[in-house]
Structure 1
Amino acid sequence: GLALLAGVLPAFFALLVARLVDTLPGVIAGASVPAAGQRILNILMAIGGVLLLQEIVAAGRAITSTDLYRRYDEYLLARVMRTTLAAPRLELFESPDLAAKTDRAARIARFGPGEMVSGLGVQWTVLAQGAAATVLVATVWPLAALGLAVLWLIVGRQWQADFYRANPFWTDPLRQARYLKQLALMPAWAKEVRIFGLVDWLGERFGRQWELVMAELWRARQADQRTMLPLLLAVLIANLLVLLLAARAALQGTLSVGALTVLVQGLFGMAMLAGQDGDILVENGAVPAPDVVELEQAVAQLPPATGSTATTALPQKEIRFSGVHFTYPGHDTPVYAGLDLRIEAGRSLAIVGLNGAGKTTLIKLLTGLELPQAGRITIDGIDLANLDQNSWRQAVAAIFQDFVRYELSARENIGFGAVERLQDDGNDDRLSAITQRAGADAILQGLPAGLDTVLSRRFAGGTDLSGGQWQRIALARALTAVDAGARVLILDEPTAHLDVRAEADLYERFLDLTHGLTTIVISHRFSTVRRADRIVVLQDGRITEDGSHAALVAAGGQYAQLFHLQAMRYGGQ
């Protein structure tokens, strides 16, 4: 409606100007001055009304168009998040073709070249129209042109300032919404998001966060209206004053009809000096909707997770890899070409090997984040493909080398191990007990707002943690999953950046806390896994050695050689 009205107003203005031009010759020819003067005054008042209405419409369009842009962005962002989270595995991040589609769709959160270019074009067009109108007025009354140009530029600057102030790009609510979006889209966080069952939580939290963003935007817009009203009133009075002076000059014969017509048209056009449509277009950028549709179609074609068997209290006996073959998309060299491995339930297994041996890939296969191209992975004889994936992932807890440092509250950082319990009564007491077991209770006591403290300095009242403190928080998150029923615990080199003694301390605590559970420890440092019940050496996708620490050292194979080599290297630590 506002767009249609904005398009009709210039036509009304042109009709009024034509009526004005038709009336003035009668006055000049000697018609009744009072009557003609009243007609002219009525026309000028109508023109002033059109000018005022134009500004009201422009302000309304600026507000509503911003709202529409935001809502459309949110709509497409939500679609991208839902589509990305709907992928049950990691193909979107590890297949080159799918990763490219994901990146293109995710551009809507950053910029859109098409609309940005369009916005720049609109900016230049609007400025050119305003400058041309100023020149028209200046040919008649230079001082009026200068004064009105200054007023319009002030209005434009204030509009722009209000737009950026109300624009929530740099406020905490929007930054938090964007962070939640990143949790859904970034490859580094894809494993934990799925294993800890955060898919539904992320979608719901993003929706609530975006409602806060929109509420803040509208509050700012309402405050800005109080700032703009005096300026718009000043512009209106200035325009009416110029029009009245021009009318008097025309009546006195010192201003020609043609000059008056030019002046009036120029006054109308000078409003373009305050135009903000181009700024809004550039600010928001283009939204690559076709890329979103392409991503949705690609995800719809992925193999679905079809398993339905529940995993209550599994595993009771064993986890077994039988003849497993796996090659990453876009690669020719297989990671595994017939891997056989038995993992006994209730015991600790350490998997060691050099970088690139396939240790982390084994965990991805075990957690269902990747599918083997051949062979089987069974849990107590049940094919992993037949298990309900959500149920199985609730039975698994993991701390990865690249574990996520969530820029959220301490409660959420720890509670994500059992996200379904976050809102339960008494959950804080449960989390406090778990953090004590994980050796993280001193960390919580030092936080300014306890569990409510945001673990990031990027947000008001937040704080950051050291590397060792983050390790404790990650361990507490895994123990939260254990408390909720997880039976398989995985430690995938989360201490790679710590010194040897700090790493050994965390591994010792992990094995003590998870005694009696099926525990899998991965490391390329041999000295830290010696307490494991069983150790296997993985080399080039094959199990080359298998036994206890003492047995492997006595065997004098690769394990023994690397153990002694690392013992010499780290002996001083």
Structure 2
Amino acid sequence: MTLPAAEEVGRPEKSSPKALFRARREWVFFATLWKSHPALTVAWWALVLFQGVLPAVFVVAVGVLVGAVADGAPLRTPLLLIGVVFVLMQVMTPLHAQVGSLLGEHVSDRLHDRLLVAANTPDGVAHLEDRERMDELTAARDFDLGLTGPPLHLSMGIIAGGLVEAVAGLAQAVVLAAYAWWAPLLVGGAWLSTHWLLRESTRWDRNTGEVLDAQRRAEYSYRLAVDSPAAKEIRLFGLASWLTDRFAADRRALIELRWHATRLRQKPMRWTVLVLIVSGGLFFWSLGRDAASGAVGLGQVSTFAYAAVGASALAFGGLNWALSLAADGVASVLRVEQAMSASAAARAVVSGRAPAEGMPAAQIRFRDVTFSYPGMSTPVLDGLDLTVPAGGSLAVVGVNGAGKSTLVKLLCRLYDPVSGTVEVDGTDLRDLDVESWRRRLSAVFQDFVRYELPLRDNVAPLGAAPEQVLEALATAGATDLRDLDTVLSPGYANGTDLSGGQWQRVALARVLCAVNRGAGVVVLDEPTAQLDVRGEAEVFDRVLEATRGCTTVLISHRFSTVRRADRICVVDRGRVIETGSHDELMALQGTYARLFHLQAARFNEEQDGADHADR
């Protein structure tokens, strides 16, 4: 069984009453409960009904007791009934809370599993960086983090409370039918009307861009404050108070948005009070008149009076704000799932099935490639032409923003060109099976991932023999890291953190391990940025030797590394403006030579300063 399709959530294609009902987010939410854990859902609903009926039974039992006292009848039976009902009311509440908490955890786990699969279904990363989808992803990801409402395992108790109140109010209104047929209609109808009269107070659209921006800012401020990566700078620059104030302001903005969306209107409130006064006045006037005439006994008066007051639960019960927030979260997950599936389907249309084993045998060619990121008007790559010979190394240099890293993303097929083609041995990359092609790739990205996992999983996430892992670490210059079971995070028992340079060596070892397992194309995006000059030269020479025979694409700002590549290309404003060996480009006296001399001059100045300090 599957959850309702995302397009049905709040956007019915048909206008029939059945279609409208099934498209309501509340229906989708309760259907999700059933599909997540049927047994717990049945127990949860049974407890809602049982808890809701108990107050009506208690009211009747109290009336029977009052009548027995007035008539001098035995009190054992009514007292026993009151005691049993009272105990059940006390026991059912924590039991219901536990069942609801377990059910909420099951639903949350299932939705997060589906969200995880959905977010990883498309082949590329464009769906994770598109603004419209980022808003939806934010709502879907954060629905159970307590940022805009209680987590689902707590929301289930609040939702149950509203439903129990509704059942309790309805059951006590039904008790009034024993007094007069019109009594439940008058009293119950008046309390029910409050939902319609005050309907504006429940409007709260948490999926607007403004709300999601406020939510994202609040979450970011919170993460900065409690996570370790930013802790050093926050303390060094004295930003703790600034960050606390920022978080408070962001949360206040979120609360104010909700307040403005849900504030009560004066006119509906006046009508509500008037309806309740009139209906309550008519009922109690009639009950008082009948009590005075002896038409109803003292016990009945007690029962009907308490039941009339208890019927007010209809106003406070029902589909409350917690259900609205939870249902919004479920709907967001389903919409993300549909959007990701549609994106994956669209990619499947242009994704071929040709195997990529052994490629490239001749070359990789960027042919008149133009690319711009979603929402950007200026292209990052603009008619770029570049040939990467197979089995050699090519360095790509250029100023920041020239399009170097974008070129790598296209090569890894994280994006597709807007126009033009990326060809491997003359075959359009889109005609190759994407998984087969990526098995041929290995990369160190500029923002490589630092997995909070054991060292062996950081080097070989898909598994490798210990000897292979240690060999890759040694080639990357990380011979001091040999305990493969050490978790690389100080948050775990016996865990540890690494320096920036050590982490970079681990990332390089990850590439080398993949090469040993068959990768033939190596992408190195600033692979030695956190190493000193001597360590950089040593490690890069080792890496080039270990990847000999592979097609290597290097991006680096350090010309001491770049000059070791077989060929060098200079990218500027999305185009290749120079290409050749180091000596050829230096002889050309163009952009490469100018950048080389600028960096060399700065290095010489730093070296002279260091020598002077030593003297």
TM-score w.r.t. length of structure 1: 0.66
Q: What is the Cα deviation at residue 65 of structure 1? A: 0.4
Look up the SS of the partner of 1:328 in the other structure.
Answer: coil
- Report whether the alignment pairs 1:298 with 2:339: yes
Matches within 5 A, 1:204-283: none
- Report whether the alignment pairs 1:58 with 2:99: no
**Structure 1 match to 2:518:** 485
Look up the SS of the partner of 1:304 in the other structure.
Answer: helix
- Report whether the alignment pairs 1:361 with 2:406: yes
Output the amino acid matched with 1:441. T
- CA 121–471 in structure 1, closer or farther in 2 if over 3 Å, else same: closer
Q: What is the Cα deviation at residue 292 of structure 1? A: 2.1
- Report whether the alignment pairs 1:76 with 2:122: no
Distance 2:94 2:156 in 1: 20
**Structure 2 match to 1:310:** 355
Output the amino acid matched with 2:105. R
Given that residues 353 and 539 in structure 1 are in contact (C-alpha distance below 8 angstroms), is that contact kept between their aligned partners in structure 2?
A: yes
Distance 1:287 1:74 in 2: 16
Look up the SS of the partner of 2:353 in the other structure.
Answer: coil
Given that residues 396 and 487 in structure 1 are in contact (C-alpha distance below 8 angstroms), is that contact kept between their aligned partners in structure 2?
A: yes
Q: What is the Cα deviation at residue 285 of structure 1? A: 6.4
Look up the SS of the partner of 2:347 in the other structure.
Answer: coil
Given that residues 536 and 547 in structure 1 are in contact (C-alpha distance below 8 angstroms), is that contact kept between their aligned partners in structure 2?
A: yes
Q: What is the Cα deviation at residue 121 of structure 1? A: 12
**Structure 2 match to 1:349:** 394
- CA 308–119 in structure 1, closer or farther in 2 if over 3 Å, else same: closer
- Report whether the alignment pairs 1:555 with 2:588: yes
Q: Which moved more, 1:17-26 or 1:339-348?
A: 17-26
Distance 2:131 2:347 in 1: 20
Deviations 1:407-458 (A, max 9, x none): 1221211112xx2x46xxxx233322322232223112xxxxx322221112
Aligned partner of 2:329 among 281, 284, 288 = 288
Distance 1:473 1:77 in 2: 30
**Structure 1 match to 2:600:** 567
Distance 1:116 1:74 in 2: 12
Distance 2:55 2:459 in 1: 61
Look up the SS of the partner of 1:17 in the other structure.
Answer: helix
Q: Which moved more, 1:498-507 or 1:533-542?
A: 498-507
Deviations 1:1-52 (A, max 9, x none): 111110111122112111111111233xxxxxxxx5xx42343233222222
Given that residues 477 and 539 in structure 2 are in contact (C-alpha distance below 8 angstroms), is that contact kept between their aligned partners in structure 1?
A: no
**Structure 2 match to 1:415:** 460
Distance 1:300 1:119 in 2: 29
Output the amino acid matched with 2:336. L
Aligned partner of 1:530 among 560, 563, 575 = 563
Q: What is the Cα deviation at residue 499 of structure 1? A: 4.0
Output the amino acid matched with 2:419. A
Output the amino acid matched with 1:300. S
- CA 109–341 in structure 1, closer or farther in 2 if over 3 Å, else same: farther
- Report whether the alignment pairs 1:462 with 2:495: yes
Matches within 5 A, 1:114-129: none
**Structure 1 match to 2:194:** none
Name structure 1 gaps, 5 residues minimum: 28-35, 130-181, 183-256, 273-277, 445-449
- Report whether the alignment pairs 1:434 with 2:472: yes
Distance 1:55 1:476 in 2: 61
Output the amino acid matched with 1:333. T
Output the amino acid matched with 2:565. A
- CA 508–76 in structure 1, closer or farther in 2 if over 3 Å, else same: same
Q: Which moved more, 1:491-500 or 1:398-407?
A: 491-500
- CA 457–69 in structure 1, closer or farther in 2 if over 3 Å, else same: same
Given that residues 115 and 287 in structure 1 are in contact (C-alpha distance below 8 angstroms), is that contact kept between their aligned partners in structure 2?
A: no
Given that residues 394 and 567 in structure 2 are in contact (C-alpha distance below 8 angstroms), is that contact kept between their aligned partners in structure 1?
A: yes
**Structure 1 match to 2:78:** 43
- CA 307–122 in structure 1, closer or farther in 2 if over 3 Å, else same: closer
Q: What is the Cα deviation at residue 324 of structure 1? A: 1.1
Given that residues 319 and 344 in structure 1 are in contact (C-alpha distance below 8 angstroms), is that contact kept between their aligned partners in structure 2?
A: yes
TM-score w.r.t. length of structure 2: 0.61
**Structure 2 match to 1:376:** 421
- CA 120–373 in structure 1, closer or farther in 2 if over 3 Å, else same: closer
Name structure 2 gaps, 5 residues minimum: 1-45, 166-222, 224-297, 314-318, 608-615
- CA 454–319 in structure 1, closer or farther in 2 if over 3 Å, else same: same
Q: What is the Cα deviation at residue 299 of structure 1? A: 2.3
- CA 119–79 in structure 1, closer or farther in 2 if over 3 Å, else same: closer
Output the amino acid matched with 2:514. A
- CA 64–281 in structure 1, closer or farther in 2 if over 3 Å, else same: farther
Distance 2:449 2:337 in 1: 26
- CA 109–53 in structure 1, closer or farther in 2 if over 3 Å, else same: closer
Aligned partner of 2:450 among 405, 410, 426 = 405
Distance 1:110 1:500 in 2: 44
Q: What is the Cα deviation at residue 525 of structure 1? A: 2.2
**Structure 2 match to 1:134:** none
- Report whether the alignment pairs 1:453 with 2:486: yes
Given that residues 351 and 535 in structure 1 are in contact (C-alpha distance below 8 angstroms), is that contact kept between their aligned partners in structure 2?
A: yes
Given that residues 504 and 530 in structure 2 are in contact (C-alpha distance below 8 angstroms), is that contact kept between their aligned partners in structure 1?
A: no
Q: What is the Cα deviation at residue 110 of structure 1? A: 2.4
Look up the SS of the partner of 2:385 in the other structure.
Answer: strand
Given that residues 101 and 157 in structure 2 are in contact (C-alpha distance below 8 angstroms), is that contact kept between their aligned partners in structure 1?
A: no
Distance 2:443 2:588 in 1: 31
Look up the SS of the partner of 2:523 in the other structure.
Answer: strand
Q: What is the Cα deviation at residue 545 of structure 1? A: 1.4
Distance 1:531 1:56 in 2: 76
Distance 1:516 1:119 in 2: 58
Given that residues 111 and 285 in structure 1 are in contact (C-alpha distance below 8 angstroms), is that contact kept between their aligned partners in structure 2?
A: no
- CA 286–376 in structure 1, closer or farther in 2 if over 3 Å, else same: same
Distance 2:119 2:327 in 1: 21
Q: What is the Cα deviation at residue 122 of structure 1? A: 6.0
**Structure 1 match to 2:385:** 340
Look up the SS of the partner of 2:555 in the other structure.
Answer: strand
Output the amino acid matched with 1:304. R
- CA 441–120 in structure 1, closer or farther in 2 if over 3 Å, else same: same
Distance 2:76 2:399 in 1: 90
Q: What is the Cα deviation at residue 544 of structure 1? A: 1.4
- CA 506–61 in structure 1, closer or farther in 2 if over 3 Å, else same: same
Output the amino acid matched with 1:476. A
Output the amino acid matched with 1:301. A
- CA 499–435 in structure 1, closer or farther in 2 if over 3 Å, else same: closer
Deviations 1:271-319 (A, max 9, x none): x9xxxxx9x969x967512222322332233222321111111111111
